[in-house]
Amino acid sequence: MTDLSTVIAGVTFPNGLMNASGALCVTQEELEALGASEAGAIVTKSMTPQARQGNPEPRYFSFTGGSINSMGLPNLGYPVYAKLIPSLRRFSKPVIASLAGLQPDDFLEGARALNEARPDLVEVNLSCPNIPGKPQIGYDFEESERLLEKLGDILTIPFGVKLPPYFDPIHHQKIAQVLQRVNIAFVTMINSVGNGLVVDPERERVVIKPKGGFGGLGGRIIKPVALANVRALWNIWGDRIPIIGTGGVENGVDVFEHILCGASAVQVGTVLVEEGCRVFARLARELAEILIRKGYGSLMACRGKLQEMS
């Protein structure tokens, strides 16, 4: 029996497959469906102090090779999720609470609420690219460090960060230094690649309504960017800080590539939206077949084993 389990920040996951925050995880029904599925964890929608309807629709569009979205953080608000989280424990898998905010104080308020709710881990979203007029904190290294230090003073639960894609080695170095200084427990990367644009040539218009059609790209099209970011941080710190790889996972091979690059687990977004929660059983089966064929007895046995050319 191939062992697909993994450990992140001292928390054991039955397998290393989970939803990306934002994908079918807003409502109680969606969260319970994740609990009943073969997912190795339940990741909540990124939550803000008050409930949000999000951006106007249409705000998600799937195309050949990926998806574009500008959701605008639709969620039920901290108080509702804080009440829901304890009940999700009945599914006997880790619960990861995704924490967001439109300003720094929002994060601190949410951290206090989550201390009471006691999820297994908190994922601090520094990388939501689809709030009009709001920058991604993850591209401001000094502001990120200030915020994470404040959260560290509040949270009594291990917490990590969800990061945007970085495209320059110096940015990988800088964010790695920040995360090491504030003792982050794990990293999720990458969030969608922001400010993409998809055009409908027949209608001669954009395919989503918010922000003039600009949105975050996900799916197969962003996999090379995601793998590069996972590998870059693995090269800097090895297994000292676990990485959850996100971006372009559609099948077992994609999962395997993320693990080879250094991820301890993966999150799925676009394929989950398109296929539903049954995707986790398929991915687990496909990943197990690859590991068996290659002689790996467990998921963790191949972590970071990517070879470079001599």
Active site positions, annotated: 128
Q: Return the exposure string of 172-188: e unless at least 16 CB atoms fall within 10 Å of the residue's CB, then b.
A: bebbbebbeebebbbbb
Separation between Cα atoms, residue 259 and residue 295, nearest integer Å: 15
Residues with Cβ within 8 Å of 296's Cβ and at least 6 positions away in sequence, in order, are 2, 302
CA angle 151, 154, 159 (to 5 degrees): 55
Cβ atoms of 303 and 259 closer than 8 Å: yes
Cβ atoms of 272 and 279 closer than 8 Å: yes
How would you classify residue 145: left for phi > 0, otherwise alpha for psi between -120 and 50, otherwise beta? alpha
Terminal CA-to-CA distance of the chain, rounded, Å?
A: 34
Separation between Cα atoms, residue 197 and residue 178, nearest integer Å: 31
DSSP symbol at 3: B
Token pair listed for 300: 């963790």
Crossing angle for the helix pair 252-261 and 223-237, nearest 10 degrees?
30
CA angle 53, 54, 58 (to 5 degrees): 110
How big is the chain, counted in residues? Answer: 310
Q: Output the CA torsion 177→185→111→11 (10° steps).
A: 170
> Which runs of consecutive H residues, i.e. helices, occur in the chain?
28-36, 78-88, 104-117, 141-154, 169-181, 223-237, 252-261, 270-275, 279-294
